Amino acid sequence: MAKKSVKDVDVRDKRVLVRVDFNVPLSNGKVSDDSRIRAALPTINYLLDQEAKVILVSHLGRPTAENRDSLRMAPVGERLSKLLGRPVTTLSEVVGDSVTEAVDKMKAGDLLLLENSRFESGEKKNDPTLAKRLAALADVYVNDAFGSAHRAHATTAGIVEQSDIPAVSGFLMQKELDALGEALSNPDRPFVAIQGGAKISDKVGVLDRLLTLADHVLIGGGMANTFFKAQGYDVADSLVEDEALPEAERLLASAGDKLVLPIDVVVADDFSNEAQRRTMAAGDIPAGWRILDIGPHTVEAYQSILADAKTVLWNGPMGVFEMSNFAKGTFAIAETLAELDATTVVGGGDSAAAVADAGLTDDLTHVSTGGGASMEFLEGKTLPGVAALDDA
């Protein structure tokens, strides 16, 4: 069901509480990657242009009593201020007197950033009291935090459940839902899915769904090892999930030709970038060695299947791309997608990181900003943060 967007409500002069995903990496007290902040700018700029009173809230990391001061929102506010070219007031509470006072003083076109929502223990518990206090700050609620939409927390779900204020999606949320939703519900064909990453057990739901929807499902990454083992091969020291062998057998038996496994692999004598490495046909792996990437023949085979694809959905790196000697398969697939005349969509946190490492994020149709949320969406699960929003 389509959801109302920020364009469907009147926000002029209204207090608009926006749940953003500012869960950014910090190093030495500074934001080390601001892509999530930049991804929220279209919604923030639109609301400011519309003369709303904009109140932003996000979680940041996993605060505990010990690390709390290192997870304050202040550095995020500073970076946002630089990106917007205007001052941003960052409060040191999520709710409370200082927040109520600051909100009461807001004028049209003002911008406030609340403290880390997880400083309130009620956030993750979806505590109704916290949700009501947050809702009391606002006339309109906007959720632009796709990356947190798979969590039913006070800032993503409770605030809507505990109030009658309009609840709509922001532009980033809308873009994510459109891109991922379109790929799954109405793909131009051939529709090719690429599945990799560490484990089958993380991805069984996604694999099942893609095997029904896609024309081909190309496998890579650590998950291929469990399929190899299910076929009876010795994978030696490769990452493998014995407990997922029955699932792998079931998938192999039911998927037929749709499921395509690597034909060659890069193996290493240690889990290290400096390890000895060899390329060999998929099959029994010598004792003491492990599979860390797909091989060049597999890349070619996958390229020829991808050549006439009209929709490609990719989740999960093809190898241990964090080590440069085992990143070739992943980067080759990323480059192939970048050159295709097709809708190319990437989900999953590590996959997005790999595409960014390859410098190709802007060459694909859509790279999801939501790791866990994109996986649950691909599985067909209802995201509580989306379900809570008003229907269009």
Compute CA distances 364 → 99, 338, 342, whole Å: 40, 5, 9
Residue 322 interacts with ligand ADP (CB under 6 A)? yes
Residue 376 interacts with ligand ADP (CB under 6 A)? no
CB 149 within 8 A of CB 373: yes
Residue 82 annotated to the active site: no
Give the containing element (helix H, strand E) for 178: helix 171-185
Shortest distance in whole angstroms from residue 336 CB to Mg ion:
21
Cβ closer to ligand ADP: 207 or 292? Answer: 292
Catalytic residue among 3, 14, 15, 36: 36
Specify the pairing of strand 111-113 against strand 53-57. parallel
Residue 349 annotated to the active site: yes
Choosing from 349, 370, 384, 385, the residue that interacts with Mg ion (CB under 5 A) is 349
Residue 372 annotated to the active site: yes
Between CA 281 and CA 289 the distance in angstroms is 14
Between CA 345 and CA 180 the distance in angstroms is 7
Choosing from 202, 270, 363, 390, the residue that interacts with ligand ADP (CB under 6 A) is 202
Specify the pairing of strand 264-268 against strand 277-281. antiparallel
Catalytic residue among 4, 199, 258, 310: 199
DSSP letter for each residue of 121-156: THHHHT-HHHHHHHHTT-SEEEE--GGGTTS--III
Residue nearest to Mg ion (CB): 350
Residue 235 interacts with ligand ADP (CB under 6 A)? no
Q: Which two tokens stand for residue 26?
A: 């910090």
Length of the chain: 392
Compute CA distances 258 → 209, 214, 233, 267, whole Å: 13, 8, 20, 26
Binding residues for ligand ADP, rule CB under 6 A, total 20
Choosing from 18, 71, 239, 334, the residue that interacts with ligand ADP (CB under 6 A) is 239
Helices 171-185, 35-49: axis angle to 10 degrees equals 120
Shortest distance in whole angstroms from residue 104 CB to ligand ADP:
42
Residue 175 annotated to the active site: no
Q: Quick one: which segment of 57-65, 90-98, 238-246, 345-353 binds Mg ion (CB under 5 A)?
A: 345-353
Contact footprint for Mg ion (CB under 5 A) = 349-350
Residues of this chain that bind ligand ADP (CB under 6 A): 197-198, 202, 221-222, 239, 291-292, 315-317, 319-320, 322, 348-351, 371, 375
